[in-house]
Amino acid sequence: MGMKLFEEMPERNVISCTTMINGLFQYGRVELAEHLFREMPTRDIAAWNAMIHGYFGNKRVEDAVKLFDKMPCRNVISWTSVISGLDQQGRSDEALVLFKQIVGYGVQGTPNTYSCAITACASTLALGLGAGIHGHVIKLNYVTDGYIAASMITFYAKCKQIENSCKIFNEKLHKNLAVWTALLTGYGLNLRHGDALKVFADMNEKGFIIVISTFCDRQVGVESSLVPEYSINDGISTDRKTVKAKLSEALCEVGEYRRNCKRRLIKNNPDFGMKTDWIAA
């Protein structure tokens, strides 16, 4: 329907074409997006950025990089898209090379730029560079940005610097779901399961929607059989039925590895969950 309306437009401009390119990429119509881009009479930076973003979204990494190299003019969004795209496709070292380039060129990054760079540092465990970026973020007064804070918390946690993660969390910043989840996962990565469960309880108290799969993830390393133990021993919830219901519902959403965790949970705690929930999972 969108394509039909676009073709019926009496007059198209760069905005309508760019919007259509974004839509085509979202549905995996890469060739059509490329054709439309080539046929555009004029292309602004937004159109080039849409192509780069779309290529990365469809895992066409080389095409994205080649197009970026051909850009007649780049802005901070162009650089950030490539840094983020490379990192998400497992090429974090290359993403950090680009980040160093924009710093050398004097390009002023946005909070999103620094968040992407910090995430790449976390992927490569580049503690020195990440700490340097943290210092720059403080100078720019970006540290109160929730998404930068979440990236920094995860970065330090992956580098086994969980105390630094806690310091960032305790700063005066907007603690959105990303920030809370970063600390929760960070504790799990550092095998501080009791602290993770306390964060879980605080999130629940504040009304955040929580998925218990965080505790059962291979990366975090918390077996689901430990969840009720920590919950009850630490006094997180005196309402056993509430804890059981939430764990049963959430654990049913996760995969094969989590199913193994569920089996251990039932075996170790025969009175814990409603077995019909586990069977349904």
Please count the helices (runs of H) and the strands (runs of E) in the chain: 18, 0
Say if CB 78 and CB 49 are below 8 A apart. yes
Residues 68 and 78 in one domain: no
CB atoms within 10 A of CB 226: 20
The pLDDT confidence band at residue 117, using thresholds 50, 70 and 90, is: very high
Closest by CA to 137, choosing from 158, 116, 122, 123, is 116
Residues 18 and 61 in one domain: yes
Say if CB 82 and CB 101 are below 8 A apart. no
- pLDDT, one tens digit per residue, over 216-267 is 554 444 444 445 444 444 444 444 455 455 545 544 544 444 455 555 555 5
- pLDDT, one tens digit per residue, over 44-91 is 999 999 999 999 999 999 999 999 999 999 999 999 999 999 999 999
Residues 56 and 99 in one domain: no
Residues 277 and 208 in one domain: yes
Q: Which residues contact 153 (CB under 8 A, 6 or more apart)?
A: 165, 168, 169, 179, 182, 183, 186
Q: Phi and psi for 11 in degrees, rounded to 5?
A: -145, 130
With a cut of 70, say whether residue 109 has pLDDT above it.
yes
* Domains: count for the chain: 3
Residues 186 and 80 in one domain: yes
Q: Out of 190, 224, 259, pick the residue that ends a domain.
A: 190
Say if CB 165 and CB 199 are below 8 A apart. no
Q: Which range marks the domain in which residue 196 is found?
A: 192-281
Residues 122 and 25 in one domain: no
- pLDDT, one tens digit per residue, over 140-178 is 999 888 899 999 999 999 999 999 999 999 987 888 899
Residues 216 and 120 in one domain: no
With a cut of 60, say whether residue 271 has pLDDT above it.
no
Q: Out of 190, 210, 242, pick the residue that ends a domain.
A: 190
Residues 177 and 202 in one domain: no
At residue 204, the pLDDT reads 81
- pLDDT, one tens digit per residue, over 41-51 is 889 999 999 99
Instruction: Find tokens 């973020």 and name the residue.
Output: 137
Residues 214 and 258 in one domain: yes
Separation between Cα atoms, residue 238 and residue 215, nearest integer Å: 20
Residues 174 and 111 in one domain: yes
Separation between Cα atoms, residue 23 and residue 32, nearest integer Å: 10
At residue 12, the pLDDT reads 72
Q: Out of 143, 162, 190, pick the residue that ends a domain.
A: 190
**How long is the chain?**
281
CATH number of domain containing 168:
1.25.40.10
**Mean pLDDT value of segment 200-206:** 85
- The chain-wide mean pLDDT, for the chain, equals 81
Residues 106 and 178 in one domain: yes
Residues 49 and 109 in one domain: no
